[in-house]
């Protein structure tokens, strides 16, 4: 596999982004709990769980399994959460039975990574397959309008003991936002590349995958989704 995400999401990722921490995860889970009822007897999946911070926060309220492709991040998750369930798999082919889950969350722009829209649709189709009738999918995504308005093309900041440089751009066709991260001690510059789905695109993708949207939020404090919102967060129910 040669996709960018197979090379980037390792220990270096956590070192570069130490602010993505447990407190932020608890804030996101609090937003979810304030929007929907979590069944303590239900079963949840954190799709693209990384090092497991959202799994740990969710597990206090509902049994949760974490899934990610990065073995490096999963090793950290398992070490920090003994006894918690984690699975290594590709989100385009989920290793769960049909209608086996009550809740799936996909947080902090962990969608839109693939080179074709069909592959991104496959992810939503798989989520729909594994959710029970009436189950909830929470997708927390970038807001394309906000990204375009607030994009900083270049910055450098000190993280720990090293200076981290980030160069950002929107591709000429307007379909992707790309970021190149470089810093002393990294084996090479790393690329992040995410599809710039508009909120209306996400609504259509969710509808086509068999979901009905019930809530649209614009940040982790549950403000309504607007053009200026930093996030585009959808709570969608699998149609029966």
Instruction: Report the pLDDT value the prediction gives residue 151, as an integer from 0 to 100.
Output: 97
| Rounded CA separation 168/124 (Å) | 27
Please, where are the H alpha helices in 97-229? 117-130, 144-150, 199-208
105 in the same domain as 89: yes
Nearest to 209 by CA among 139, 140, 125: 125
Query: What is the pLDDT, as a whole number, of residue 1?
Result: 42
Query: Within this chain, do residues 77 and 119 fall inside the same structural domain, yes or no?
Result: yes
Looking at the structure, tell me whether residues 16 and 37 fall in a common domain. Answer: yes
Going by pLDDT thresholds of 50, 70 and 90, the confidence category of residue 186 is confident
Report CA-CA distances (Å) from 86 to 39, 50, 68, 146: 20, 10, 8, 33
**pLDDT for residue 4:** 76
Final residue before a domain boundary, out of 159, 177, 192: 192
Domain shared by 159 and 69, yes or no = no
CATH number of residue 61's parent domain: 3.40.50.150
**99-155 per-position pLDDT tens digit:** 999 999 999 999 999 989 999 999 999 999 999 999 999 999 999 999 999 999 999
User: How many domains does one find in the chain?
Assistant: 2
More confident residue, 61 or 160: 61
pLDDT tens, position by position, 14-50: 777 765 678 999 999 999 999 999 999 999 999 999 9
Per-residue pLDDT band at 8 (split at 50, 70, 90): low
Q: 74 near 85, Cβ under 8 Å?
A: no
Q: Is 68 helix (H, G, I), strand (E, B) or coil?
A: strand
Same domain, 179 and 210: no
Q: Are residues 24 and 90 in the same domain?
A: yes
Print the domain residue range for 208.
5-143+197-238
Do 88 and 122 fall within a single domain? yes
Please count the other Cβ atoms lying within 10 Å of the Cβ belonging to residue 116: 9
Same domain for 158 and 90: no
The pTM of this model reads 0.94
* Residues 105, 185 within the same domain: no
Residue 231 has pLDDT above 70, yes or no: yes
Does residue 177 sit in the same domain as residue 123?
Answer: no
């Amino acid at each position: 596999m040669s996709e960018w995400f197979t090379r980037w999401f390792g220990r270096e990722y956590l070192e570069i982004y130490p602010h993505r921490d447990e407190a932020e995860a608890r804030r996101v889970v609090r937003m979810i709990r304030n929007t929907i009822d979590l069944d303590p007897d239900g079963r949840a999946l954190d799709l693209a769980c990384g090092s497991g911070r959202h799994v740990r926060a969710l597990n206090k309220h509902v049994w949760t399994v974490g899934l990610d492709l990065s073995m490096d991040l999963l090793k950290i998750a398992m070490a920090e959460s003994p006894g918690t369930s984690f699975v290594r798999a590709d989100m385009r082919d989920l290793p769960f039975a049909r209608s086996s889950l009550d809740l799936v969350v996909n947080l902090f722009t962990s969608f839109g990574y693939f080179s074709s829209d069909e592959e991104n649709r496959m992810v939503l189709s798989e989520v729909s397959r594994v959710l029970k009738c009436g189950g909830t999918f929470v997708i927390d995504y970038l807001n394309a309008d906000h990204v375009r308005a607030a994009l900083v093309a270049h910055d450098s900041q000190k993280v720990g003991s090293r200076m981290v440089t980030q160069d950002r751009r929107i591709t000429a066709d307007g379909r992707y936002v790309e970021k190149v991260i470089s810093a002393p001690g990294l084996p090479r510059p790393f690329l992040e590349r995410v599809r710039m789905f508009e909120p209306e695109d996400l609504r259509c993708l969710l509808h086509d995958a068999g979901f009905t949207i019930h809530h649209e939020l614009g940040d982790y404090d549950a403000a309504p989704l607007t053009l200026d919102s930093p996030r585009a967060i959808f709570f969608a129910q699998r149609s029966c």
